[in-house]
Amino acid sequence: MRNKTTMDGNKAAAHAAYAFTENAAIYPITPSSAMAEYMEIWASEDRKNILGATVQTVEMQSESGAAGAVHGSLIAGTLASTFTSSQGLLLMIPEIYRLAGELLPGVIHVAARTVAAHALSIFGDHSDVYACRQTGAAILASSSVQETMDLGAAAHIAAIKGRLPFIHFFDGFRTSHEMQKIEVWDYDELYKLYDMDTLMDFRKNSLNPMHSKIMGSAQNPDIFFQNREASNQYYDRLPSIMQDTMDKINKTIGTDYHLFDYAGAYNAEHIIVAMGSVTDTIEETVRFLNDHDGKYGLIKVRLYRPFSTKHFLKAIPAGVKRITVLDRTKEPGSAGEPLYLDVIAALKDSNFDNIPVFSGRYGLSSKDTTPAQIKAVLENTSKRRFTVGIDDDVTHLSIPTSDFFLWLPNDIYECKFWGLGGDGTVSANKSTINIIGNNTDLNVQAYFEYDSKKSRGLTISHLRFGKSPIHAPYLIRQADFSACHNQTYMHKYPIVQEIKDGGCFLLSSGLNEDELESFLPGQVKRYIARRNIRFFIIDAISIGRETGLNGKISTILQAAFFKVTGILSEKTAVKLMKTAAEKAYGKKGDKIVKMNHLAIDIAIKSVREIPVPESWKKCVDDNLDHELLPDRPETLNYVQNVQKPIVKQQGDNLPVSAFLPYADGSCP
Amino acid sequence: MRNKTTMDGNKAAAHAAYAFTENAAIYPITPSSAMAEYMEIWASEDRKNILGATVQTVEMQSESGAAGAVHGSLIAGTLASTFTSSQGLLLMIPEIYRLAGELLPGVIHVAARTVAAHALSIFGDHSDVYACRQTGAAILASSSVQETMDLGAAAHIAAIKGRLPFIHFFDGFRTSHEMQKIEVWDYDELYKLYDMDTLMDFRKNSLNPMHSKIMGSAQNPDIFFQNREASNQYYDRLPSIMQDTMDKINKTIGTDYHLFDYAGAYNAEHIIVAMGSVTDTIEETVRFLNDHDGKYGLIKVRLYRPFSTKHFLKAIPAGVKRITVLDRTKEPGSAGEPLYLDVIAALKDSNFDNIPVFSGRYGLSSKDTTPAQIKAVLENTSKRRFTVGIDDDVTHLSIPTSDFFLWLPNDIYECKFWGLGGDGTVSANKSTINIIGNNTDLNVQAYFEYDSKKSRGLTISHLRFGKSPIHAPYLIRQADFSACHNQTYMHKYPIVQEIKDGGCFLLSSGLNEDELESFLPGQVKRYIARRNIRFFIIDAISIGRETGLNGKISTILQAAFFKVTGILSEKTAVKLMKTAAEKAYGKKGDKIVKMNHLAIDIAIKSVREIPVPESWKKCVDDNLDHELLPDRPETLNYVQNVQKPIVKQQGDNLPVSAFLPYADGSCP
């Protein structure tokens, strides 16, 4: 049994990568940067890889330079890795062809991110990875933080054995930035899984004056084609090398990974084929629906390239009547999205040749993909090509989503924290999740929703913990606990409306009961009262002033959270928070640590429950629209139809038609 | 009826591009460089585009810079184009996503070239274009020099109308460097075909302080997906916009272009789907086989993106029983090559859903694709996935090719010239083809085969001319006339063995009859005598010395060619050659021109026929192997098994197994 620690997907991938890397050539790009940063930090701490060496890291001038350095290292017989996303990966494409052509076992860990089109997006989908599917690199998908740890290692192990470069990818933000308590590789175990003989072959085959040879020659029409076909066997062999690798991993750590993993009913009639974090959502939704007489299933694609038709067909249940392929990309003008095309080709001439195959686009740019969307996909029997998760009222490709809600197991506690970018809420929540994850036997998950400005914008932290495993790679819609760290939000966002009946609400505010009565909008008060929500308040700003922390109120609110929820005993919580503060602020001096300790003690005592007046049940809605509108008609149109809903956190509800005037990404 | 001129594909594309371009941002890469060079030359000559403006050309620091400049120009409302190949195109990929996302009508003309993998190759296949199929750009294929002229214009016309960027491509070298006599667009005609209203819309929509707006914003998960779907209608509309454009072109110039063009039997049972120059070879082979009871057909893909399934299905003959898709690329590890995947997806749920579909790779890196290979493809009924044109004795994917030979119409005269890179042979042959093309009513074709060294290597010029149209985008195997411009080649290459029975052979040599008797290998003499080949000789070196041209003997050999073949009357030929020399060397001064004129006169008189002795019929083979072999066994293996056949121009015959030790592109 491996040690368990709480970390995000980037750290998990970096932990696996460090083990098998000698040279890491890096160039930072969101959301992959943290992987490269971990490599540098660990190298500076002289951490050893499985070969007993410290990784050499070098930052290049761009991603193409990083890929070039990886290429150079590998040709010289040095194990090399890099880390990237989106346009960074696109800049590596020419080198990836070379790595594959020259049979070099480099590994590129990719936090998959949207490629910029009409607009830039730092968020996640698979458009960048799909843009590399023709390069000849093997491509392996991880769908959770744990898999990123496990399969991140598999990529390196199979690369050296198979003599092919790997792109190992996982969902940008959703997995790269999601924190989970996961099992962590012990490097001694990884050493045992690594094939030292093929490593020696790799070294021997490198460019070396002692046994000279030429690489990178130019070939003419007479021989290029034949030489290109001489590598076929490496691709033919790779699927079984990867399955072998997975088998050994399974044996070592008790997992059950396959090239294509089936989950669901043995007699499923409708199955989904997908890869990435959505597979967790699908698996849970399928499980629930099958418990209610559904006949559904799921094939998780792990080894996407080389695509093994043989293994894929084996994973399909015999009685299937309908297959839906979900692609997290949009390739405008194509005959079909990429995974769909592969599946159609794989089914051709098989027993499943005449089965209808549906194709759906979902989750572009980290659009949250919910169980309700998956249910809609499973129940769609009419639209062969569709989108899900949006309202396409123009080309009518979207399928409607019901208000289906998949309740997690009762023991899972869900919390949302509404903060202001830079106010420390996200950091405090990371600390919270570490405290709970590393000091209890609870499973934990944290995801942080913020826009690309990162600072001074709204942040929403989504924390889950509980005894059951947490397979919910989507946002929390109904929380057991919500905290509002900035009281002005009460007039802007439906914070309490996203709390479960009987849940807890914590407001950071210096207002007294009378002031609250007039400050809180009618719809908020009514919701609190009618849904039996317990209402807590803490004057974090005053405590901050009092203790000298001033605006840095996140520790205060963290303490209030522990107090209100009682997740840990008060004594334990205080002790662990204080230790965390020492760790976090120790470098800044004793004074800061002491201020935090004091703030924790005061906060625990200050948080108090507000009795909810019966009268609130009858409150009427206040008008919360107070915007200044621009003069110019085209600007007015944009502000009314696009900008206002976005600011109200209702951009998700905008239909496609709202963007028709801005189809080219322009805005007034 | 448009004017006819002799030019290559690059010039044809540049002629079309110049008409519709205001800014050309360029960066040179083989084999596309000539397009950019023509843009610069014409701009420097103050040639006007259809809008009456001179094109502005700017050379950037790389292809990504060129793409960025195109992007910037378009955003500012300026029509922009660029020209590239291979890795150059790969570097443009990030910008191509942006051009498509922002609905900008830029056009990239691509001389399609192999992407470097195990080795670099400057030659042609479609791997670079296929690497862009996911970007959202429209992609249009031209399969001959004439189409490059015609459809090159269609790309620009449809781009502005459809608000999408275009990649217009044609085969690197095979089309970019093939010379043909073609009809040339008159810019007044093109002006009439261009939609000035949409041009005005494009201008109005540009970034401009008078009507300000923002482009290139960052979007978050809430709206990116919807905004991305708002452009669907542009893709839905583009196929009909392109067909409209083609209809107008067809009406103007009497062509018959469609998105997918069918050629072959109305009752075809086996059809090939392909794009690029191979379609000419397929069409001619199908025509021949159908004349001999074959039931074959061909679908030429012109608009590859957006891929219009509807139009594709309409092009398929109803009775088809088997479809083979040919892809000029290799995507190792994929579920299938790209066009094959599109076809499979298009057939799904159609009337042709259950038809077996075969998938073949051909012509990588300009591997010559012959009628014999096409016949093998049409007759293949067993290998679903295959390669053609090579002998794959390892993974056994290749299908065998017979010695089938498609004779061109009798009136087509075929010539081969064996020269030394840099000796002027290629230039002289370009002059010859221009003289014949532009001064007779004959059709002409010229293709120049040389390796990537370009200088001091072997060059083989392939010239065809005749009254019939020439649809033969492959090398000449059996010539009516062959010239050897370097007598040492007689010991190396099977020059006379590739002359038709009764054809002519011209040798540049100062040897007399006795010396020739001992110099020529037995197998050469026997072949000449037994096949009734007429043997001519000219001492070009001496004439060069005599006239002061020295090593620049190509004009001398050109004159000898005209004299021997009698294509033109001696008087006409001399006059036209002299005019050509004036044009070519006028800038270098009168003296050089006069030397050339003198050389032409002497050459015409000096070339003489050698009587072929009866005794030659009985000559026995001489041993022509005189190589020095290296000591080291691994080097010896490479030299014997790979290098020697290459040097003997027999690299095409090497099987895949010869490259197994060098699968990674290495050589000792």
Torsion angles phi and psi, residue A185, rounded to 5: -60, 135
Question: Does the pLDDT value for residue A452 go beyond 70?
Answer: no
Nearest to B32 by CA among B147, B234, B170: B170
**Cβ-contact A109, A30 below 8 angstroms:** no
**pLDDT band at B481; cut points 50, 70, 90:** very high
Among A111-125, A206-220, A652-666, B34-48, the least confident range? A206-220
**Helices within B131-194 (DSSP H only):** 145-162, 187-193
**pLDDT band at B142; cut points 50, 70, 90:** very high
pLDDT tens column, A537-549: 999 999 999 999 8
Smallest CA–CA distance from A391 into chain B, residue? B226
Between CA A132 and CA A135 the distance in angstroms is 6
Cα angle, residue A540 at apex, residues A556 and A429 outer, rounded to 5°: 40
**pLDDT band at B627; cut points 50, 70, 90:** low
Between CA B649 and CA A623 the distance in angstroms is 84
Q: How far is CA A511 from CA A516, A552, A611, in A?
A: 6, 19, 14
**Smallest Cβ distance to A666: which of B214, B349, B390?**
B214
Cβ–Cβ below 8 Å for A341 and B346? no
**pLDDT band at A424; cut points 50, 70, 90:** confident
| Interface mutation target, options A84, A87, A174, A228, chain B, most CBs of B under 10 Å | A228
For residue A154, the model assigns a pLDDT of: 98
Strand partners, B361: B327, B387
Cβ–Cβ below 8 Å for A121 and B224? yes
Buried b (16+ CB within 10 A) or exposed e, B386-411: bbbbbbbebbebbbebeebebebeee
Residues of A in contact with B213 (CB under 8 A): 666-668
Average pLDDT over residues A27-55: 98
Average pLDDT over residues B335-360: 96
Average pLDDT over residues B578-597: 91
Cβ–Cβ below 8 Å for A133 and B659? no
Nearest to A142 by CA among A277, A281, A297, A304: A277
Higher pLDDT, A329 or A632: A329
For residue A234, the model assigns a pLDDT of: 98
Between CA A553 and CA A85 the distance in angstroms is 34
For residue A454, the model assigns a pLDDT of: 59
Residues 477-516 of B with CB under 8 A from A: none
| Interface mutation target, options A163, A222, A331, chain B, most CBs of B under 10 Å | A222
Question: Does the pLDDT value for residue A625 go beyond 80?
Answer: no
Between CA B333 and CA A232 the distance in angstroms is 9
What share of chain B has pLDDT > 90, as a percent? 90
**pLDDT band at B453; cut points 50, 70, 90:** low
Residues 104-123 of B with CB under 8 A from A: 104, 114-123
Question: Does the pLDDT value for residue A19 go beyond 90?
Answer: yes
For residue B370, the model assigns a pLDDT of: 97
**Smallest Cβ distance to B334: which of A120, A238, A305?**
A305
Smallest CA–CA distance from A99 into chain B, residue? B117
Cβ–Cβ below 8 Å for A122 and B218? yes
CA A48 to chain centre: 28
For residue B119, the model assigns a pLDDT of: 97
Sign of the CA dihedral with B578 first, then B581, B586, and B590 last:
negative
Residues 302-341 of B with CB under 8 A from A: 305-307, 309, 329-336, 338, 340-341
Smallest CA–CA distance from A388 into chain B, residue? B225
Cβ–Cβ below 8 Å for B217 and A332? no
**Cβ-contact A66, A25 below 8 angstroms:** yes
Q: What is the ipTM of this complex?
A: 0.96
Cβ–Cβ below 8 Å for A136 and B333? yes
Average pLDDT over residues A642-663: 93
Residues 119-158 of A with CB under 8 A from B: 119-123, 127, 130-131, 133-138
CA B22 to chain centre: 27
Between CA A242 and CA A308 the distance in angstroms is 11
For residue B630, the model assigns a pLDDT of: 75
Cβ–Cβ below 8 Å for B225 and A367? yes
Cβ–Cβ below 8 Å for B235 and A342? no
Smallest CA–CA distance from B390 into chain A, residue? A226
Cβ–Cβ below 8 Å for B229 and A395? yes
**Smallest Cβ distance to B230: which of A122, A221, A663?**
A663
| Interface mutation target, options B205, B227, B659, chain A, most CBs of A under 10 Å | B227
**pLDDT band at A627; cut points 50, 70, 90:** low
What contacts A86, CB < 8 A, 6 or more positions away?
A29, A113, A114, A115, A116, A122, A127, A128, A172
E strand or H helix that includes residue B270: strand B270-274
For residue A551, the model assigns a pLDDT of: 81
Between CA B92 and CA B129 the distance in angstroms is 11
**pLDDT band at B452; cut points 50, 70, 90:** low
Question: Does the pLDDT value for residue A278 go beyond 80?
Answer: yes
Smallest CA–CA distance from B356 into chain A, residue? A349
Residues of B in contact with A116 (CB under 8 A): 94, 97-98, 101
CA distance B613 to chain A (A): 36
Average pLDDT over residues B367-377: 97
**pLDDT band at A455; cut points 50, 70, 90:** low
For residue A586, the model assigns a pLDDT of: 87
**Cβ-contact A337, A386 below 8 angstroms:** no
Between CA A2 and CA A184 the distance in angstroms is 6
For residue B343, the model assigns a pLDDT of: 98
Contacts A–B by Cβ distance under 8 A: 393
Question: Does the pLDDT value for residue A408 go beyond 90?
Answer: yes
**Smallest Cβ distance to A117: which of B101, B221, B238?**
B101
Question: Does the pLDDT value for residue B506 go beyond 90?
Answer: yes
**pLDDT band at A494; cut points 50, 70, 90:** very high
Nearest to A111 by CA among A142, A133, A69: A142
Question: How many helices (H) and strands (E) would you count in chain B?
Answer: 23, 22
| Residue with the two structure tokens 């801005």 | A662
Residues 574-593 of A with CB under 8 A from B: none
Nearest to B442 by CA among B352, B586, B541, B568: B568
pLDDT tens column, A157-180: 999 999 999 999 999 999 999 999
CA distance A49 to chain B (A): 27
pLDDT tens column, A554-577: 899 999 999 999 999 999 999 999
pLDDT tens column, B528-555: 999 999 999 999 999 999 999 888 888 9
Q: How far is CA A368 from CA A142, A327, A452, B450, in A?
A: 18, 14, 16, 56
Question: Does the pLDDT value for residue A635 go beyond 90?
Answer: no
For residue A70, the model assigns a pLDDT of: 98
Residues 403-442 of B with CB under 8 A from A: none
CB distance from A566 to chain B under 8 Å?
Answer: no
**pLDDT band at B498; cut points 50, 70, 90:** very high
pLDDT tens column, A600-610: 999 999 999 99
For residue A632, the model assigns a pLDDT of: 78
**pLDDT band at B151; cut points 50, 70, 90:** very high
pLDDT tens column, B89-137: 999 999 999 999 999 999 999 999 999 999 999 999 999 999 999 999 9
What share of chain B has pLDDT > 70, as a percent? 99
Which tokens go with B210?
């008078």
Among A186-190, A646-650, B258-262, B491-495, the least confident range? A646-650
What spatial distance separates the first Cα and last Cα of chain B, rounded to whole Å? Answer: 57
Nearest to A110 by CA among A152, A77, A72: A152
Residues of B in contact with A99 (CB under 8 A): none
Cβ–Cβ below 8 Å for B664 and A102? yes
pLDDT tens column, A279-303: 999 999 999 999 999 999 999 999 9
Nearest to B577 by CA among B413, B430, B466: B430
